[in-house]
Amino acid sequence: MEQQRFFLFIALAIILFLLWDAWQKDFGPQPVSSVTSTQPDTTTSAAKATDIPEGADTPAVASTPGSVPQAVQQPLLATSKEIVVETDLLRVVINTTGGDVRKVDLLAYPVDVKEPDVPFRLLNDDNKNIFIAQSGFANKKARDNSLTQAPNHYTVYGSGKINYKLADDQQTLEVPLTWISNEGVEFTKTFIFKRGEYLVNVKHIINNRGNKPWHGNLYQQLQRKVPEDDGSAFIYTYTGGVTYSPEDKYQKYDFDDMADANLNKKITGGWAAMIQHYFLGAWIPGEKDPFTYYSSQQSEGRYVLGMKSAQEYKVDSGNIASIDSRLFIGPKLQEKLEQIAPGLELTVDYGVLTFIAKPIFWLLNKIHTFVGNWGWAIILLTLLIKLAFYKLSEASYKSMANMRKVQPRMQALKERYGDDKQKMNQALMDLYKKEKINPLGGCLPILVQIPVFIALYWVLLESVEMRQAEWILWIKDMSSADPYFILPLIMGVTMFIQQKLNPAPIDPVQAKIMMMLPIVFTVFFAFFPAGLVLYWVANNILSIAQQWYITRMVIKA
C-alpha cells in the first residue's frame, strides 16, 4: 500500500512540474527585446555601444593599428578578419575586431551520434544564436595629463597570421593580437592554448611608449542571446548567467534578472559564466584582483554578463605591464573544473541536493572506471543503493505486513465507532500500542530514499559524461530518449508487476488511479533520457526481487 502511495506521489509531482513548466513557457515573464526599426539607422556607435562598461572611450574601429579611433555606425557584430585556431580539443575563431572569441567547436563532442564528424558549436556569432566572449579596456576621461586611448571590443587588432594549429610536438600555442594607440601605447592581447585543455589563458600586455602615464580598467564579458526552445518539454535544465564569490558562493542570474535590473557587485576571487546543458563559457580573473561584476540587456535580444577591474591599472611612460586572466570554454567535467577555480564545478547544477548528488556521481564515476560502460555503471550503482537501503526496505515491508494483519480489527473499529473520529483515532492508537505497530513505519523508509532518487535524477541528467554514451545494442546515447521505446515499455511492465505484489486499495477510485499509473509513467518516460529510464527499470526489477525475498523469506521466517 505504501509503495502504491509512493508511486502516486511521484506521478503527482511530475504532473505538477509539467503544468508549471507549460505555464512558465506560455504565461511566465519573457525577456524584453527592443523592436528593430525599419528606418535608416543614423546613430553613431558611441550611442549604440552600450555593451561597453561605463567609462570607455568612443569605440575604436581603426582599420589599421595606430589609427585614430572614429565614431561610425556598427552592425550587430562588427566583423573583420577571422583567425582560426585549432588544438587537439578546440577549433576557435577569433575576430580581429575586438579580439572577440566568436566561434568555438568542441572537437571531442559531436553535435549528434548520427553526425560523429560534426563537432558541437558552443560559442557562435550567428545573429540568431549569439554567444561570444569579449574583453578590452574601459577608460575615464583624461586627468593629470594621462593617456586614455585603449582598445575595446570594437577595436580592430593587427595579426601576423590568420591560421594557427597546435603541432603534434607542441604543448602550447600562442596567438598574439596587437593594437597601437595614437598616443604611442602598444596593446598586445595574447591567447595561450594548451594541449588537452579547454582553459585558455588570456594575457594583456601594455607597453607605454608615450611620454605620459596610461590609466585604464580591464573588462571581460560574455554576450549571448536567449537560445531558442529545443522542444524538450519534459526535461528542464538551466540556461543563463551564474556568478561565484567567496562570500555568496554560487548565484544564478538568469536572463529575466538581467532584464529587470543591472548587476553591480564587487567580487574578489570569483568568476562569471554563461552556462547551458552540459557546457559553459566562463571568465576567471586573477584571484587577488577585485572586479566589479555587471550585466545589461542590449538590443536584438542580447544579454551581457561580465566584470571590470575595480581599480585602474596604471602604466608609467616607458614601462610595461602584464594582466593575466583565463577563459574556460568547454564541457562541464567536474574534476577539471574543480582544479581551475573554487566553485566552478557547481556549474554542474545539481540544485539543492548537491551535497547528496556529488558523492553519488563520485561513486558512479568510480564504478565506470572498472566496467568502462556508463549503462552498466548505472545498474551497479542502483544495486549498491538498494543494498544500502535494504534494512530500511525490510522494516517498511515488515510494517506493511503487520498493518495487513490488523486490517480486519481496524475495519471492526471503524464499524463500531462510525463517524466518531475522536474515539476512532484513540482506539487505533491503543491498537497500535498494543500490537507494537508504528503506523509510519512503512512510509518513513520510503521518504528517506526520495532525496537520493531526486539527487540521482540530477546526476544522470546533468553529467556531460552521459552525453552520447553508449550502453548496448540500440542504446547509443544515454542522454537521449530510447528511439524504439523499449526501456519505457519495460519500465511500465515492471511497475504493473509491483502493483500486483501489493494488495489492491480498498477505495475503488484509488484502485483505478493506481491501474493507470504504469501507463502514465510509460508515456512520460518515453521522452526521458535513456540513462534515467535505465535507472528506473533497474530500480523496479531490484525492488520486485527484494519485495519477493522479504515477504516470502524474511517476514514468514
The pLDDT of residue 73 is 35
The pLDDT of residue 222 is 96
325 - beta bridge partners? 202
In a domain, 229, yes or no: no
Same domain, yes or no, for 285 and 427?
Answer: no
Which domain CATH number covers 43? 2.70.98.90
Same domain, yes or no, for 383 and 523?
Answer: yes
Instruction: Give residue 376's Cα distance to chain centre.
Output: 25
Instruction: Give residue 271's Cα distance to chain centre.
Output: 15
Question: How many domains does one find in the chain?
Answer: 2
Sign of CA dihedral 107, 111, 112, 117: negative
In a domain, 24, yes or no: no
Cα–Cα distance list, 361 to 226, 356, 452, 458, 495 (Å): 30, 9, 12, 10, 26
Same domain, yes or no, for 134 and 280?
Answer: yes
Same domain, yes or no, for 393 and 371?
Answer: yes
In a domain, 160, yes or no: yes
Same domain, yes or no, for 311 and 430?
Answer: no
In a domain, 23, yes or no: no
In a domain, 484, yes or no: yes
Same domain, yes or no, for 402 and 326?
Answer: no
Same domain, yes or no, for 217 and 365?
Answer: no
Give the Cα separation of 124 and 517 in Å (integer).
43
Contact 83, 164 (CB under 8 A): yes
- In order along its 557 residues, the chain shows pLDDT tens digits of 444 444 444 544 544 444 444 444 433 433 333 333 223 332 233 334 567 776 544 333 333 333 323 333 345 677 789 999 999 999 999 999 999 999 999 999 999 888 888 999 999 998 888 999 999 998 765 455 566 788 999 999 999 899 999 999 999 999 999 999 988 999 999 999 999 999 999 999 999 998 889 989 999 999 999 887 655 545 678 899 999 999 999 999 999 999 998 999 999 999 999 999 999 999 999 888 899 999 999 888 899 999 999 988 999 999 999 999 999 999 999 999 999 999 999 999 888 888 899 999 999 999 999 998 999 999 999 999 888 887 777 777 766 666 667 767 766 776 777 666 777 777 777 777 776 666 655 566 667 777 887 888 888 888 899 888 888 888 888 888 888 889 889 988 988 887 776 655 555 666 677 777 788 888 888 888 888 889 889 988 988 888 777 777 655 55
Same domain, yes or no, for 62 and 195?
Answer: yes
Name the domain boundary from 305, 326, 349. 349
In a domain, 247, yes or no: yes
In a domain, 47, yes or no: yes
Task: Give one DSSP letter per residue of 183-199, joined into a string.
Answer: TSEEEEEEEEEETT-SE
Sign of CA dihedral 482, 483, 486, 489: positive
Residue 523, C-alpha cell as written in the block:
508515456
In a domain, 25, yes or no: no
Domain that holds residue 186: 31-224+235-349
Same domain, yes or no, for 8 and 65?
Answer: no
Name the domain boundary from 332, 349, 366. 349
288 Cβ partners below 8 Å, 6+ apart? Answer: 268, 269
Contact 317, 310 (CB under 8 A): no
Backbone angles phi, psi at 225, to 5 degrees: -100, 160
Same domain, yes or no, for 325 and 361?
Answer: no
Name the domain boundary from 316, 349, 382. 349
Same domain, yes or no, for 186 and 319?
Answer: yes
Same domain, yes or no, for 136 and 239?
Answer: yes
